[in-house]
Structure 1
Amino acid sequence: MTPEAFVEIFREALQVIVMLVAAIIVPGLLIGLVVAVFQAATSINEQTLSFLPRLLVTLTTMMIIGHWVVQVLMDFFFNLVDMIPQVIG
């Protein structure tokens, strides 16, 4: 295995990880920000108030983009399988 092949696999793996995690986490972060602004504006100091909206948005996001996540992971796996001769030889 050449160092270039290893670096290419590692770079692609990191790219897939960042893309998938960002797609799941960013909507929850945005809802958390909206709830935090609402809490600051109304002086409500309940910490559990922001948990339920973030949970619901994260679960909804995972349901909506689940097919895309599986497709990206399958494409990455098939790409790894296709690279086996290049890695071995």
Structure 2
Amino acid sequence: MTQTMLNAVVKDTIMTAAKVSAPILISVLVLGLIISIFQATTQIQEQTLTFVPKLIATAVVGIFLGSWMLQTIMAFTTRIFDLISKITT
């Protein structure tokens, strides 16, 4: 395995991880920002007010985009296994 191949695998790994995790992270980030603004304006400092909506948003995004996330991870795994089979032959 050359340095170029290793760099390509690392880049592909990071890009796949970012692509799969981005929808959940962005939705929770936006929801957390909205809740923080709401808490600052109303001066309600309840901890469960931030936790429960983030948990629900994570579940909703996971339900709607779970199949896409699974397909993306499976495609990445297939590429890695193909690369491994090319190295050993």
Task: Please indicate, yes or no, whether the TM-score normalized by the shorter chain is above 0.5.
Answer: yes
- TM-score normalised according to structure 2 size: 0.91
Counterpart position of 1:21: 21
Could you say if the C-alpha distance between residues 32 and 76 of structure 1 is closer, same or farther in structure 2, counting changes exceeding 3 Å? same
Query: Is 1:63 the equivalent of 2:66?
Result: no
Show structure 2 runs of 5+ residues with no match.
Answer: none
The CA distance in 2 between the partners of 1:77 and 1:48, in whole Å, is 38
Structure scoring higher RCO (CA < 8 A, sep ≥ 6) equals: 1
Identical positions, percent: 30
Task: State which drifts further: 67-76 or 39-48.
Answer: 39-48
Counterpart position of 2:80: 80
After the TM superposition, list the runs of 4 or more consecutive aligned residues in structure 1 that deviate by more than 6 angstroms.
none
CA RMSD of aligned residues (A): 1.3
The CA distance in 2 between the partners of 1:12 and 1:27, in whole Å, is 23
Spell out, residue by residue over 1:26-63, the C-alpha distance to the aligned partner (whole angstroms, 9 max, x if none): 10111111111011111111122111111100111011
Show structure 1 runs of 5+ residues with no match.
Answer: none
Spell out, residue by residue over 1:45-85, the C-alpha distance to the aligned partner (whole angstroms, 9 max, x if none): 11221111111001110111000001001111111122224
State how 1:31-46 maps to structure 2 within 5 Å: 31-46=31-46
- TM-score normalised according to structure 1 size: 0.91
